[in-house]
Chain A
Amino acid sequence: MLQDTLPNINKKDINNVKRIILNNLTGKSYTNKLIGLEEQYNTLYDICKKTIETGESNSTLLIGNRGCGKTMIVNKLLDNLDKEYNKDKQTFLTVRLNGLIQSDDRLALKEMIYQLSQEEAMENLNSTSFSEVLSYLLNVLSIGTKTSKPVIIVLDEFDLFTQHNKQTLLYNLFDIAQSNQNPIVVIGLTCQLNVVELLEKRVKSRYSHRQVLCFPPIEIEDFEKIIINSLKIPENNSKINKDYIKKFNTEVDKIFSDESIKTIINRLFDITNNSRNFLKICIEPIYKLSVNQPYPKVNDFLDAYTRQYIDSKTELLKGTSILELCLIIAMKCLLEKHIEVFNFEMIYDEYKKFVQKIEATGNGREIFFKKQVAMKALEHLIAIELVLPTEASGKCPKEYRMMKVLLEPNQITQAVLKHNECPTSIKQWGTRWL
């Protein structure tokens, strides 16, 4: 049984393994193979290559769902181009902007100048007016000829850039790309399919209408491959014990041939083919690796899955007090009467009716509370946003403030069934169907 003897694993190995896989999972490394995206990568690569080698300007949009690998393609592209052409950082420049971060043109311009000036001896403008910055940047970009240094501009969340006032930035970038000025490539990344329609006419006419579409994995095998790939350690890693790598990779394969894991993948794939959703589950089991437990376990994955995909509202309801639960059931009763918007008085009325009904059994008093106490309970429900007021406060006494419940009747029933300390009478009330 030589195979079963544990390879000599030390803490350093474990830490290295963790680091490699976690970098994969969180998208911090881009050494991994692209799966199903080779074509898109090559198109972009060719475009950039032309710009760098022959000074041809271009603009393109990379469109694809969330989590299908757009940023990864670009990261990899820039990485490879850097290795190929830019060893001394002299051949071309890159600028990366993100629509979420650079929320208006002014910030975007400042950021562009900042990034350019990091590598080039460019004058760093300190808070001048928008027009000054713009004209300065245009000057820098347009005085060049085809032989000037090419610039690769990546605009992440491109759709947000189209919301900027008058689309000045996009207009100017596309304009430079179209006329024979400094060679630039503009790569826009977005998940919005109709993004071209968001462009103003004058901007649209300057855009080259080149689009590269990315698709999330269509076949479940590809989906699985992406996941397994990011959980494996490259065999050629010299820092880590070879036997350990081998064993680790076979263990990973073993996990994904397990039936229960397969069902999870299937289920998730039916909901969304964004691989990030599964990778999120993998993070916790990987963090658990230690010298005593050097390989991931199926159970850890299953645990993580249930934790990440529970109905958190039902979970939250499980911990509520009996009074709060009663109020929520009362709201459910109102919903059954097709009253969607209600106020505290109506809820309390419904609650009172229930208490009167079960009074005969003798335990009604126990669960009946004064209005103010019930009000406090309701305010707690509002604070945890299970109930949402539809009226501004102060318009009428707070007992009459209209609100609606943000739970499905089904969720309420589930919560009542799962509640630990719920008396039977309330259980019956909460699960009854009209």
Chain B
Amino acid sequence: MEIQNEIDEQFEILRKNYPGRELQITRLQDLIGDIHQVVPPSIFIFGDSATGKTSIVRSIFSKYKENASFINCIDCYTPRLLFEHCLNKLSGYIPNPDNLYSNYAHCETISEFIHFLTEICDKNKNEDEELTGRYLIFDNAERLRETNPLLLSALLRVPEITNLNITIILISNIVWEKFRSQTGMLEPILLQFPSYSKSEILNIMIRDCPKDENKNFYYIFIELLYDVFNKPCRNLNELRHMAMLLYPKYIEPIQEGKATRNDTVKLFKHIEIYFKQALDKLYLRNISSSEWKNKSFEEYVEPTVNSDIRFELPYYTKFLLIASYLASYNPPRYDLRFFSKSSENKRRKSRKQEDVSGSKKSQQLYGPKVFPMERMLAIFYSIIDDPIEGTIDINRQIASLKTLKLLIKVGNTDVLNQMKCKCNVNYEFIQYLSKSVHFDISRYLYEAV
């Protein structure tokens, strides 16, 4: 009965530690809280990322000792790893140097797995014939679909086939409909972890408040943060990450003595600049957290343009890439108009009229088109200013662009001259590149981006 007491305690603690999840925790307790009861055959826990699924389930089962095995399906990516880890945990077997890091048993198929499972459960049976539940938990369960399509159906049948008191718990951020594919799937009990509401998010974030800080003051800050960032991102983990990095900036004026805690407006004005930057830099992880901390105030106010693209290529290789971009995004029939040197006086730029019907999308949006090598080379020779020196090996440059995956080969031939390619860079990148060689790419593009 000792384990049972610990479990009950754990549920109480969890209810306190996870505001907004009380309902889910109670439902879990109803279903699996009593270790000496008949367990449900299978439970499917789902919900968006950062809604507390894994962390709640993990902390519940940390108290179940050897009766539960918590497996992350990303770690255990083959059936064998999955089975062997399960068996190790249920039997309390720990691979260590003394046993040469071996496993409880060598187990590759579900058939063997069932044998070993029965073996373990029989061994640990109480003398007084008391029921004990066993819990197999699979986190990131969507990965189970990848290996063997029948694996999931078979796993869900394990309680039925073995007739043991076992429950299968699947955790995933994908809805159950996507799991139903093969024959023989038993329907699990669904348990949803809905996304947090605004007040719940704020309630959780207030728990991160520094010890020496006034709760109300911190609350104003996180509410401000939430209102700014909730449009693009409601992921709690992201919000907490940003709160952690932005808070020191928020209280900077107070530490420097320029403002007091009551100057909400002043503080807001100060932090606004950081907020603007945070979305680009922090949210997209363009700079590391330590970089962010060490940057001076001036750097935030005047950020260098396109500073996040850092890439260097030889001069002519850049032009090769630009040429291939043009070849990929311009229709061939307009080549003459754009690149012909003899008809310099002709109208160079011609932009197609916007499609009024609206039902057809502009071709630009469909992405890069395939082009033959000769066409790209023709464009290349047309856009470079001076005639090229003979020593440069163009083909080698093309090959290296291909290795860098900036060009993608289409088709089978390996002969460079006959090859067909696609350009694999986006507009921002090519713009940055053409700027570095003082080339105005927009003049040559059929459709402006």
Contact = CB atoms under 8 A, between A and B. Distances in A.
Do A and B make up one complex? yes
Interface of A: 15, 18-19, 22-23, 26-28, 66, 71, 98-103, 107, 110-111, 114, 157, 159-160, 191, 276-277, 280, 283-284, 287-288, 307-308, 310, 312-313, 315-316, 318-323, 337-339, 342-343, 345-346, 349, 366-367, 369-373, 376-377, 380, 383-385, 394-397, 399-400, 420-421
A15 B130 CA distance: 12
Contact of B190 (A312, A342, A383): A312
Contacts of A277: 187
Given A107-B111, A321-B231, A339 B283 contact: no
Contact of B187 (A103, A276, A337): A276
A322 B177 contact: no
Contact of A26 (B41, B175, B191, B195): B41
B424 A321 contact: no
Contact of A319 (B154, B160, B175, B234): B234
B128 to A, nearest CB: 14
B232 interface: yes
Nearest to B192: A315
A369 B232 CA distance: 8
Interface of B: 27, 30-31, 36-38, 40-41, 46-49, 51, 109-111, 114-115, 131, 142, 150, 153-154, 157, 159-161, 163, 173-178, 183-184, 186-187, 189-192, 194-198, 230-235, 279-280, 283-284, 358-359, 361, 364-368, 405, 408, 422, 424-426, 428
Contacts of B234: 319-321
Given A26-B38, A287-B31, A321-B232, 5 more contacts: A22-B38, A26-B41, A319-B48, A345-B364, A366-B231
Nearest to A21: B38
B161 A101 contact: yes
Contacts of A28: 38, 159-160, 163
Nearest to B357: A337
Which 6 pairs from chain A and chain B are nearest by CB?
A319-B195, A400-B367, A22-B38, A312-B175, A100-B154, A321-B234
A283 B38 CA distance: 11
A376 B183 contact: no
Contacts of B365: 343, 345-346, 349
Nearest to A369: B232
Most buried by A among B27, B49, B187, B232: B232
Contacts of A157: 183-184
Given A98-B161, A421-B198, A373 B279 contact: yes
A423 to B, nearest CB: 9
Most interface-central of A22, A312, A349, A367 (chain B CB within 10 A): A312
Contact of B425 (A339, A380, A397): A397
Contact of A383 (B31, B163, B173, B231): B173
Contact of B233 (A71, A313, A321, A339): A321
SS class, residues of chain B in contact with chain A: loop
B361 A384 contact: no
B144 to A, nearest CB: 14
A28 B175 CA distance: 28
17 contacts: A19-B38, A27-B160, A98-B157, A99-B184, A101-B157, A276-B186, A283-B189, A284-B27, A284-B30, A287-B40, A308-B189, A316-B48, A319-B194, A383-B49, A384-B49, A399-B426, A420-B198
A376 B283 CA distance: 9
A308 B27 CA distance: 13
B158 to A, nearest CB: 8
A287 B408 CA distance: 58
Nearest to A401: B367
A380 B153 CA distance: 27
Nearest to A26: B41
Given A159-B183, A383-B173, A397-B425, A100 B38 contact: no
A420 B197 contact: yes
Contacts of A395: 408, 422
A338 B233 CA distance: 30
Contacts of A316: 47-48, 175
B98 to A, nearest CB: 26
Contacts of B405: 394
A345 to B, nearest CB: 5
A283 B40 contact: yes
A420 to B, nearest CB: 7
A342 B161 CA distance: 45
B408 A307 contact: no
Contact of B192 (A307, A383, A399): A307
A373 B232 contact: yes
